[in-house]
Structure 1
Amino acid sequence: MNKELAINIENASVRLGGREIIHDMHWQVKKGGRCFILGANGAGKTTLVKTLMGYAWPKFGAKVEVLGHRFGQTNLVELRKRIAWVSPFMNQFTNTESTGLEMVLSGFDGTLGLTRKATAEEIDTAKALMERFRCAHLTDQEIFTMSSGEQVKIMIARALLTKPDLVILDEPSVYLDMAGREFLLEEIRQIAEKLPEVTIIFITQRIEDILPVFSRGMILAKGRIVESGERDEILREEVLSAAYGLPIKLWKNKAGRYWAMLE
């Protein structure tokens, strides 16, 4: 077991719904790393997240280690308390009648919805985070009545409540408009810069969302790693064109972000 690694996956193939989604994956991320995962719909990104969280299991013979704990030999309930998973798709796992405040507070216990009475100190901490992410007005609103963008803000606040060791941002901006996306990406940039000890995985299907702070990454296509390594080395037109099946041209702005255009 390598203590320098936050994530270590070896020989992992994952089947869901009667078909193999991820094929023979080998992937490592160092502790404190900022890594992106890029891929089109159906590339296997969400299945990979479920594998990291212990909600999906690879076939026999694989090794999955997260934060130094090998799956099959650890308490996943306790491990999940050290992992913050943020996704607009998490509503399928949540109690949708929970209010915004209750959902944020549930981060203290690693659950998706509050299962006990919170302390006054916990409530104050949660409300402060909701103010930061401009969702304090959602304190008493039920999750199912919120827009997708509002739900993401709630889940970000929940994620940072307990200072996790690993943050997984699973397509957090997919439902946001341009202004909402840029606000969220700026918050993510600041989180990445202010919490150097935290490992952050950023998952997206949009090339322009990959901030320069994510210095390493991998590109997925049809459940396989197409390319992995340094950001500027793998974000190449020929690689992206093959992964997306489109003739992609790249333009890089002054901030170091890449934007995709069709040739």
Structure 2
Amino acid sequence: MPAAFELSEVSVMRPGKLLLADVSWTVDENERWVVLGPNGAGKTTLLQIIGASMHPTVGTVDILGERLGQVDLSELRTRIGHTSTKVAERIPPAESVRDVVLSAAYAVTGRWNEEYDEHDHARAEQIMGEWGIAPLAGRTFGTLSEGERKRVLIARALMTDPELLLLDEPGAGLDLGAREDLLASLETLAHDDDSPALVMVSHHVEEIPIGFTHVLLLRDGKVVAQGPIDEALTADNLSRTFGQRIQLDDDGGRYAARRAGYGRRAVRPADTGENA
């Protein structure tokens, strides 16, 4: 299976700060990854690297068959879908939902005088229908709820049929109902064989959709663990990642984590044969 991207011994250094330290990571095109770690772990920096928005200080990065430093970044970025609060902040509040999605065809925020063809309009209508935001098409972005905004941003990221989709904390700021609605949609996306390679950044195991296949755990810019989610997502690895004793529960692929009680070993319930 071809790799969507491959990082080899990547480090990112800034004056007085090591943001990433010797990270090697390969993601195949059919894999769905979640990146977990505390604030300051280097998650955002890692996403900027694989989103072709930042070059490493040391190491090599190959994305969609192209090596950073030897490729036209503007062309490479059109092949990558990306959702984040920074993208949301660049969208004019008065922009219609339809134009927020449609303008992704030109990789711009804020429609001006671009000309879109029939295919662009059809694709925008299709993706809005798939993500349940067609009724919002005439609404302005600034009037949407947080859950509606997250769906619009994902639809925008999928507008160009990307080969790699990066989701930066899609569940942040959502209430329980909106989060569960979003996770249900992401589960559908994860199980679709035609979906691009997926990488989602989160702080919380509760936000991992069923169908995500792998996990990378990051702390202080260093990889704590990585691999298939049923092997690498353990209480011990979470405890090392977040710096405290964590108990992990797994209910059919939906996870929950909490601080382990005094005197209790941080384990999966499966390790003891008991429910926590």
Task: Normalising by structure 1, report the TM-score.
Answer: 0.89
Which of 221, 224, 232 aligns to 1:223? It is: 221
1:169–1:201 CA contact under 8 A, matched in 2: yes
Aligned to 2:258: 261
1:108 aligns with 2:105: yes
Report the Cα distance in structure 1 between the residues aligned to 2:196 and 2:220, rounded to whole angstroms: 29
Q: Secondary structure at the match of 2:115?
A: coil
2:60–2:67 CA contact under 8 A, matched in 1: yes
Which of 186, 189, 199 aligns to 2:187? It is: 189
1:167 aligns with 2:165: yes
1:14–1:56 CA contact under 8 A, matched in 2: no
Aligned to 2:269: none
1:121 Cα deviation after fit: 4.3
Aligned to 1:118: 116
Cα distance change on mapping 1:17 and 1:50 into 2, 3 Å:
farther
**Percentage of matched positions with identical amino acids:** 32
Specify the structure having the higher radius of gyration (Cα). Answer: 2
Gaps of at least 5 residues in structure 2 are 261-276
1:88–1:151 CA contact under 8 A, matched in 2: no
Deviations 1:65-101 (A, max 9, x none): 1001001111111111111112234224444543322
Task: Normalising by structure 2, report the TM-score.
Answer: 0.85
1:88–1:148 CA contact under 8 A, matched in 2: no
1:228 Cα deviation after fit: 0.7
Q: Which amino acid aligns with 2:243?
A: G
The root-mean-square deviation of aligned C-alpha atoms, in Å, is: 2.2
1:242 aligns with 2:246: no
Cα distance change on mapping 1:43 and 1:107 into 2, 3 Å:
same
Report the Cα distance in structure 2 between the residues aligned to 1:256 and 1:144, rounded to whole angstroms: 35
Report the Cα distance in structure 2 between the residues aligned to 1:88 and 1:130, rounded to whole angstroms: 20
Aligned to 1:35: 33
1:83 aligns with 2:80: yes
Cα distance change on mapping 1:249 and 1:226 into 2, 3 Å:
same
Matches within 5 A, 1:18-167: 19-59=17-57, 61-115=58-112, 116-167=114-165
Segment drifting more, 113-122 vs 196-205: 113-122
Report the Cα distance in structure 2 between the residues aligned to 1:225 and 1:219, rounded to whole angstroms: 6
1:158 Cα deviation after fit: 1.0
Report the Cα distance in structure 1 between the residues aligned to 2:14 and 2:109, rounded to whole angstroms: 23
2:52–2:76 CA contact under 8 A, matched in 1: no
Segment drifting more, 244-253 vs 9-18: 9-18
Q: Secondary structure at the match of 1:62?
A: strand
Q: Secondary structure at the match of 2:162?
A: coil
Gaps of at least 5 residues in structure 1 are none
1:88–1:152 CA contact under 8 A, matched in 2: no
Cα distance change on mapping 1:114 and 1:205 into 2, 3 Å:
same
Q: Secondary structure at the match of 1:155?
A: helix
Report the Cα distance in structure 2 between the residues aligned to 1:94 and 1:75, rounded to whole angstroms: 25
